[in-house]
């Protein structure tokens, strides 16, 4: 067992690495949540369409509600088709041995942190592309339900 304390450089390095890994896991969870929510919107779209079609003769706005449900469904499918955030980049153990031997400890650490920062930025862009599509699907779904309810009054 080592009796040496953790140096400030090592502590800072570990903190930065843990923070980056935590951010990547959070982004992956956000991406999965958006996908699961899009599946939920699709399910509600199908259920609402079934209800609208079952009572289509009762009011005149059923066609508009059905069109909005179809648009909502297509945006939800589009959300699922967009690439999502990745959980983590390659672990340091997968760095080729030649690269590890050629670099000193600090440059290897900096390279790893730069790769993690690039992964975080890529994930931010992936989530940013998914959110508007999902929000549009949800908005159209709510609007279709409101129109359906208004038509029944």
Report the residue count for the chain. Answer: 153
pLDDT at 2: 58
The answer as to whether 117 is a domain residue is: yes
Q: How far apart are the first and last CA of the chain?
A: 76
Unique residue bearing structure tokens 């499918």: 77
3-state secondary structure 84-136: CCCCCCCCHHHCCHHHHHHCCHHHHHHHHHHHHHHHHHHHHHHHHHHHHHHHH
CA distance 61 to 31: 35
Average pLDDT rounded to a whole number, residues 50-67: 82
pLDDT at 90: 52
The answer as to whether 43 is a domain residue is: yes
Average pLDDT rounded to a whole number, residues 141-150: 91
Percent of the chain at pLDDT exceeding 70:
80
The answer as to whether 2 is a domain residue is: no
The answer as to whether 3 is a domain residue is: no
Domain count, the chain: 1
The answer as to whether 51 is a domain residue is: yes
Unique residue bearing structure tokens 């029944």: 152
The answer as to whether 1 is a domain residue is: no
Full domain range(s) for residue 140:
9-152
The answer as to whether 26 is a domain residue is: yes
123 in Cβ contact with 24 (< 8 Å): yes
User: In terms of Cα–Cα distance, which of 25, 76, 55 is closest to 148?
Assistant: 55
Average pLDDT rounded to a whole number, residues 62-79: 93
Q: Is the pLDDT of residue 27 over 80?
A: yes
Q: What is the pTM of this model?
A: 0.76
C-alpha gyration radius of the chain: 24
The answer as to whether 4 is a domain residue is: no
pLDDT at 58: 62
Q: Report residue 4: phi and psi, to 5°.
A: -80, 145
- Going by pLDDT thresholds of 50, 70 and 90, the confidence category of residue 35 is very high
pLDDT at 15: 84
Average pLDDT rounded to a whole number, residues 14-32: 87
The residues near 126 (Cβ < 8 Å, ≥ 6 apart) are 27, 31, 82, 83, 84, 85
User: Where is pLDDT greater, at 98 or 148?
Assistant: 148
Q: Is the pLDDT of residue 125 over 80?
A: yes
């Amino acid at each position: 067992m080592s009796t040496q304390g953790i140096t400030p450089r090592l502590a800072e390095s570990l903190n930065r690495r843990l923070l980056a890994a935590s951010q990547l896991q959070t982004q992956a969870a956000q991406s999965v949540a958006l996908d699961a929510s899009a599946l939920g919107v699709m399910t509600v779209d199908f259920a609402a369409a079934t209800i609208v079609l079952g009572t289509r003769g009762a009011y005149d706005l059923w066609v508009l509600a059905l069109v909005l449900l179809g648009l909502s469904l297509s945006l939800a499918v589009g959300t699922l088709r967009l690439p999502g955030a990745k959980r983590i980049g390659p672990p340091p153990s997968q760095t080729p041995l030649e690269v590890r031997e050629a670099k000193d400890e600090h440059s290897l650490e900096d390279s790893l942190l730069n790769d993690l920062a690039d992964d975080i930025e890529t994930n931010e862009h992936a989530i940013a592309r998914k959110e508007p599509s999902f929000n549009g699907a949800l908005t159209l779904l709510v609007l279709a339900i409101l129109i359906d309810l208004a038509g029944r009054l």
